Amino acid sequence: MKYRCKLDSPLGSIILESDGRSLTGLWFLGQKYFVPASSDVTEKPDLPVFEKARIWLDAYFSGKKPGPVPPAAPEGSEFQKSVWKALRKIPYGKTVTYGDIAKELADTVPGKKVSPRAVGGAVGRNPVSIIIPCHRVTGKNGSLTGYAGGLDRKKHLLDLEKGVKRK
């Protein structure tokens, strides 16, 4: 069984999804790769993991370092999961490139090459945005490229983490 709830954020409505214990989804409503609710999804806003996510997101959007992330268990291929695991290591307020992640993954298996483009595909399909910080990944020269929630949101999230005040 899957559970969902909707939250309001400064960047628009957010949909949370859970298996009952961990977050399996966190999307901006209508973003690219958003997974619409199916018939086996139940609205359950009082789920404990949703409360943890609400508290974390409230702190995050208020510009504070939110502390330990709520439990997340995104579903995907082994390669996608390895990329999402690498995303979790990116410190708050810092960025890395797709190439950095590709090199990190290639270094774990001698002789293996990992394409930055393949990393980009996995980053873009991260189903637990913000909490698994795919917005902290940039292009080769630090350029803002790709974000399923939109580049304006990506810029806003990065500015928020750097303490940049927005009007």
**Interatomic CA distance for residues 125 and 19, integer angstroms:** 18
DSSP codes joined into one string, 71-97: PB-----HHHHHHHHHHTTSPTT--EE
What residues contact 151, with CB distance under 8 A and at least 6 apart?
Answer: 144
* Helical axes 98-107 vs 78-87, angle rounded to 10°: 120
134 an active-site residue? Answer: yes
pLDDT at 133 (0 to 100): 96
pLDDT at 125 (0 to 100): 93
Contacts 24+ apart (CB under 8 A), 76-79: 76/122, 76/125, 76/127, 77/122, 79/118, 79/122
pLDDT at 96 (0 to 100): 95
Tens-digit pLDDT string for the chain (167 aa): 899 999 999 999 999 999 999 999 999 988 887 776 677 888 888 999 999 999 999 999 998 889 889 999 999 999 999 999 999 999 999 999 999 999 999 988 677 888 999 999 999 999 999 999 999 999 888 888 888 888 999 999 999 999 876 55
Which residue among 134, 137, 157, 158 is the active-site one? 134
Indicate the pTM of the whole model.
Answer: 0.90
pLDDT at 56 (0 to 100): 97
Contact 157, 15 (CB under 8 A): no
pLDDT at 18 (0 to 100): 96
- How would you classify the pairing of strands 23-28 and 14-18? antiparallel
pLDDT at 166 (0 to 100): 59
Residue-range domains of the chain with CATH:
2-61 (3.30.160.70), 78-162 (1.10.10.10)
Helical H runs in 10-140?
48-61, 78-87, 98-107, 116-124
- Residue 72 pairs in a beta bridge with 23
- φ, ψ of residue 41 to 5 degrees: the values are -105, 130
**Interatomic CA distance for residues 14 and 5, integer angstroms:** 8
